[in-house]
């Protein structure tokens, strides 16, 4: 079942450590956001394969936006 990974805060995409097709474990950082001088990882909620990355570095995302999809 595809599962969206949502940003839990508003911020700017600082890094994208995962790529489409990567196998990730629960708690692995998929996207790293920067907000108010802090780097905040958006983590995979469970183990799986990254199906989509929906953001680019430097892009602003709002809380609740889907930043990636896990399969």
Partner 1 sequence: MRAVLVANRGEIARRVLRACRRTGLATVAVYSEADRDAPHVREADQSVLLGPAPARESYLDVERILTAAHRSGADAVHPGYGFLSENWRFAESCARAGLTFVGPPVEAIRAMGDKAGARRLMAATGVPTVPGSPGPVADAAAAEAAAGSVGFPLILKAAGGGGGIGMARVDQPADLPVAFATATRRAQAAFGNGALYLERYLDRPRHVEVQVFADSQGTVLHLHERECSVQRRHQKLIEESPAPGLDPDTKRGLTEAAIAGARAIGYVNAGTIEFLVDGAGRFYFIEMNTRIQVEHPVTEEVTGLDLVVEQLRVAGGERLAWRQDDIVQRGAAVETRVYAEDPEKNFLPSPGTIARLDLPHGEGIRVESGVEAGSVVSVHYDPLLFKLVARGNGRDEALARMRAALDATAVEGVRTTIPFLKRALDHPDVRRGALHTQMVDQGAFR
* Residue 26 or 38 having the CB closest to partner 1: 38
* Residue 12 or 26 having the CB closest to partner 1: 12
DSSP 44: P
CB of 42 to partner 1, least distance (A): 12
* Residue 25 or 71 having the CB closest to partner 1: 25
Residue listed under structure tokens 């990730």: 24
CB of 27 to partner 1, least distance (A): 14
CB of 12 to partner 1, least distance (A): 6
The closest alpha carbon to 7, from 50, 51, 54, belongs to 54
* Helix H or strand E segment including 15: strand 11-15
């Amino acid at each position: 079942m595809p599962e969206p990974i949502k940003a839990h805060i508003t911020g700017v995409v600082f890094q994208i450590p995962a790529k489409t097709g990567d196998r990730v474990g629960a708690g692995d950082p998929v996207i790293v956001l920067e907000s108010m001088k802090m780097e905040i990882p958006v983590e995979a909620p469970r183990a799986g394969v990254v199906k989509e990355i929906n953001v680019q570095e430097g892009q602003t995302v709002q809380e609740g936006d889907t930043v990636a999809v896990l399969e």
